[in-house]
């Protein structure tokens, strides 16, 4: 049987969790025999952290959970010259090996290789691709969203939707290795980062300046990777280094700096107002420089803090349609259609069946609804409509009569992240990473300022808290434990429509007591005109995860086992429309059952004004709450049959 068939990988279930690098060092003498008990010293060139090790009887030692970065390696053994390897670069998810042949000589002699070649991934059959630290720093990043870099990797296709490119837009439009959109596993620093319950969409997005690497596991044959029909996308954040660093950035956009659009130039319109402010800062370094901790050789602590703030004003000019002031008092004498024909309002109270079998009605005298026939609630609601400010030729009367070219939408976004890395001697390493992201979009779609507004604030909020511990419990036993809490919430809030007294519209107290949300303005619609009011809704997803693994290396075998436990809570709630009415033109047309041909009769607002809306409802929504458990144990034996296999 070929040696390849001897490789055993036993998986009970699969789930991606180990985002850091793995390096296997094999040490031999000039004759090719293994060198046991060789002392190893792996040093991170950025933080100067030292990772000691010692080869086993097979001359092999495997470093686990190494933070991505550049390293140097020193190997020493009695009777041999000291060997050094410089510029060993490890990336996210990388499982590589390096073979070192010691030369016979004194321990005071040193052989140094200053330019190490690219490391081959000989320790894993899984394949992935990485956008490394230099590319993250040098490449232009769309909307400063580091996840956009993933679309340039082989095997990855991102559906080209511009609305999904900002950091707050739940970027998830990835197809990896032919997998389905929405079914990839997203992680930050190896911890689950899926925002919504029931679908895998990206949750918290670290500030672009904090990102070290973006990696995609396109296909994985390792037992610890999975829970996806496509791939695993991981963003690895930076840690503080041995030197203090500070960065500040700003991106500005002003109306006077913008070119006018082709459409505006064609009609001689001025430039629209668009303004953007974005700024941020980042500081990092060792805490000993801040004199917060004593400087000890065996205790190191590094920090990184990043803050990003974004504000923009987006032009959203409105052309709206509202009943003219006289129409709100029942006078429809000026109402005409687009062909300049008079539109007659018929009295629904005069309905009867004529000789041809049609249900017909009589018109109001002078096309004016008497004040005694106007329903007081309808008249009160109409008082919240804004007044028109223009007339548009060639359209139905009271159409496109309110123009608000200066209407703006506002986007406000902030994002902060803190990372603390601690090395408690050579056997224990910890890091903590709290983070917070909030996006608010304030908008207005109907020109109302106050109760009746169709708009408000749409919010997306992310919290993330991660704690990770790596412990070396013996020469060949390494334990990793990771706990993560993430919270995602989104929803529409319309503060001007809250704390509204429906009694002021004329509703009776007995009816108000039966409404699910008696302090909301409600929703009011009229066919052919702009509506008033808006419902509210929100949902929250809380994910609690605990992941752990134990790795034991014995000879040519590397046995790893672990677990992944996730508890997800999901709450979804919408107020619906606690009170909703809609009027259409059918009830005030001449003929009920020939509405399609009656373009010169009937009006939706007139129907509503008479107190005969075509639709009415009161929503009583439930508040569904879901709980979901995910339990995934796994075990794997990596058998290194030979030094090359």
266 has pLDDT over 50? yes
**What DSSP designation does 576 have?**
-
Domain count, the chain: 3
Please say which residue of 216, 237, 258 terminates a domain: 237
In this structure, the answer to whether residues 111 and 145 fall within a common structural domain is no
Confidence class of residue 141 from pLDDT cuts 50, 70 and 90? confident
In this structure, the answer to whether residues 120 and 22 fall within a common structural domain is yes
What number is the average pLDDT over the span 625-639? Answer: 88
What's the pLDDT at 473? 86
What's the pLDDT at 582? 93
In this structure, the answer to whether residues 107 and 147 fall within a common structural domain is no
Q: Is 238 helix (H, G, I), strand (E, B) or coil?
A: coil
What's the pLDDT at 436? 95
pLDDT tens-digit profile of 386-404?
A: 999 998 888 999 999 999 9
Please say which residue of 237, 261, 286 terminates a domain: 237
Q: Is 587 helix (H, G, I), strand (E, B) or coil?
A: helix
Residue with tokens 């991170």: 44
In this structure, the answer to whether residues 230 and 160 fall within a common structural domain is yes
Q: What is the mean pLDDT of the chain?
A: 84
Q: Order of strands, edge to edge, in the sheet holding 95-101?
A: 60-66, 21-28, 95-101
In this structure, the answer to whether residues 13 and 115 fall within a common structural domain is yes
pLDDT tens-digit profile of 148-162?
A: 887 777 778 776 665
Q: 12-16, 165-169, 267-271, 366-370: which has the minimum mean pLDDT? A: 12-16
Q: Is 475 helix (H, G, I), strand (E, B) or coil?
A: coil
pLDDT tens-digit profile of 488-518?
A: 999 999 999 998 999 999 999 999 999 989 9
In a domain, 61, yes or no: yes
In a domain, 532, yes or no: no
State the alpha helices, DSSP H only, in 95-250.
133-138
Confidence class of residue 544 from pLDDT cuts 50, 70 and 90? very high
In this structure, the answer to whether residues 111 and 22 fall within a common structural domain is yes
In a domain, 151, yes or no: yes
In a domain, 196, yes or no: yes
In this structure, the answer to whether residues 598 and 610 fall within a common structural domain is yes
Euclidean distance between CA atoms 439 and 311, whole angstroms: 10
**What DSSP designation does 104 have?**
B
Euclidean distance between CA atoms 402 and 400, whole angstroms: 6
CA dihedral 153, 154, 159, 164 (to 10 degrees): -10
Q: 6-15, 303-312, 422-431: which has the minimum mean pLDDT? A: 6-15
**What DSSP designation does 80 have?**
B
Chain-centre distance for alpha carbon 481: 26
In a domain, 272, yes or no: no
Angle at 282 between CA 277 and CA 286, to 5 degrees: 175
In this structure, the answer to whether residues 177 and 119 fall within a common structural domain is no
More confidently predicted of 412 and 232: 412
What number is the average pLDDT over the span 201-208? Answer: 87
In this structure, the answer to whether residues 95 and 119 fall within a common structural domain is yes
294 has pLDDT over 80? no
101 has pLDDT over 50? yes
Euclidean distance between CA atoms 473 and 478, whole angstroms: 6
Q: Residue 138 maps to which CATH number?
A: 2.170.130.10
Confidence class of residue 22 from pLDDT cuts 50, 70 and 90? confident
Which residues pair with residue 410 across a beta bridge? Answer: 313, 442
In a domain, 88, yes or no: yes
In a domain, 510, yes or no: no
Residues shown for the chain: 645
The percent of residues in the chain predicted with pLDDT above 70, rounded, is: 88
What's the pLDDT at 508? 93
What number is the average pLDDT over the span 296-313? Answer: 86
Structural domain for 374, as ranges:
320-405+580-617
Q: Is 464 helix (H, G, I), strand (E, B) or coil?
A: strand
pLDDT tens-digit profile of 434-448?
A: 999 999 999 999 999
In this structure, the answer to whether residues 121 and 9 fall within a common structural domain is yes
Euclidean distance between CA atoms 209 and 305, whole angstroms: 10
Q: Residue 36 maps to which CATH number?
A: 2.60.40.1120
In this structure, the answer to whether residues 226 and 183 fall within a common structural domain is yes
In this structure, the answer to whether residues 113 and 203 fall within a common structural domain is no
Cα separations in angstroms, 83 against 24, 28, 60, 75, 563: 16, 12, 15, 5, 38
CA dihedral 516, 521, 523, 526 (to 10 degrees): 140
Euclidean distance between CA atoms 47 and 52, whole angstroms: 15
14 has pLDDT over 70? no
In a domain, 365, yes or no: yes
């Amino acid at each position: 049987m070929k040696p390849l068939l001897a490789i055993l990988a036993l998986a009970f279930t699969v789930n991606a969790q180990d985002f850091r690098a793995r390096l296997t060092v094999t040490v031999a003498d000039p004759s090719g025999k293994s060198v046991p008990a060789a002392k190893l010293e792996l040093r991170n060139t950025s933080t100067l952290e030292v990772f000691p090790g010692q080869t086993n009887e097979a001359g092999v030692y495997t470093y686990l959970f190494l933070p991505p970065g550049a390293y140097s390696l020193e190997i020493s053994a009695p009777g041999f010259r000291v060997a050094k390897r410089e510029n060993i670069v490890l990336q996210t998810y990388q499982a590589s090996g390096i073979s070192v042949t010691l030369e016979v000589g004194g321990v005071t002699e040193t052989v140094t290789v200053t330019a190490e070649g690219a490391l081959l991934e000989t320790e894993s059959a899984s394949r992935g691709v990485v956008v490394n630290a230099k590319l993250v720093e040098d490449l232009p990043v769309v909307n400063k969203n580091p996840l956009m870099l993933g679309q340039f990797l082989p095997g990855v296709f991102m559906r080209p939707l511009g609305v999904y490119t900002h950091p707050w837009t739940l970027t998830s439009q990835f197809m990896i290795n032919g997998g389905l959109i929405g079914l990839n596993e997203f992680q930050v620093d190896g911890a689950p980062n899926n925002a919504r319950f029931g679908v895998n969409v990206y949750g918290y997005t670290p500030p672009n300046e904090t990102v070290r690497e973006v990696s995609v596991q396109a296909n994985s044959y390792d037992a610890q990777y999975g829970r996806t029909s496509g791939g695993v996308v991981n963003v690895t954040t930076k840690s503080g280094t041995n030197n203090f660093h500070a960065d500040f950035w700003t991106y500005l956009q002003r109306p006077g700096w913008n070119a006018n659009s082709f459409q505006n130039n064609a009609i001689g319109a001025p430039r629209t107002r668009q303004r953007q402010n974005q700024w941020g800062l980042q500081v990092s370094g060792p805490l000993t420089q801040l004199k917060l901790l004593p400087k000890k050789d065996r205790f190191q602590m590094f920090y990184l803090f990043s803050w990003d703030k974004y504000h923009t004003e987006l032009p959203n000019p409105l052309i709206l349609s509202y009943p003219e002031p006289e129409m709100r008092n029942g006078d429809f004498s000026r109402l005409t259609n687009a062909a300049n024909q008079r539109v007659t309002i018929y009295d629904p109270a005069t309905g009867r069946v004529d000789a041809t079998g049609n249900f017909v009605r009589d018109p109001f005298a002078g096309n004016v609804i008497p004040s005694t026939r106007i329903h007081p609630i309808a008249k009160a609601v109409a008082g919240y409509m804004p007044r028109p400010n223009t007339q548009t030729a060639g359209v139905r009367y009271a159409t496109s009569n309110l123009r608000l070219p200066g209407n703006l939408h506002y986007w406000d976004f902030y994002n902060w992240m803190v990372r603390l890395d601690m090395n408690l001697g050579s056997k224990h390493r910890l890091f903590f990473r709290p983070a917070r992201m909030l996006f608010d979009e304030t908008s207005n779609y109907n020109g109302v300022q106050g109760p009746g507004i169709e708009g408000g604030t749409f919010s997306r909020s992310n919290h993330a808290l991660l704690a990770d511990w790596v412990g070396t419990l013996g020469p060949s036993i390494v334990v990793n434990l990771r706990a993560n809490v993430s919270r995602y919430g989104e929803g529409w809030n319309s503060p001007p429509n809250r704390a509204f007294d429906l009694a002021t519209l004329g509703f009776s107290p007995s009816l108000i007591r039966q409404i699910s949300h008696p302090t909301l303005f409600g929703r009011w619609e009229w066919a052919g005109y702009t509506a008033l009011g808006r419902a509210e809704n929100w949902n929250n997803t809380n994910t609690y995860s605990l992941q752990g693994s134990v790795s034991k290396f014995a000879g040519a075998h590397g046995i790893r086992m672990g677990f992944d436990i996730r508890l997800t809570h999901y709450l979804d709630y919408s107020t619906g429309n606690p009170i909703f009415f809609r009027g259409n033109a059918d009830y005030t047309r001449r003929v009920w059952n020939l509405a399609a041909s009656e373009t010169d009769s009937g009006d939706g607002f007139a129907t509503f004004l008479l107190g005969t809306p075509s639709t009415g409802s009161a929503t009583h929504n439930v508040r569904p709450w879901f709980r979901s458990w995910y339990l995934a144990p796994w075990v794997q034996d990596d058998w290194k049959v030979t030094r090359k296999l």
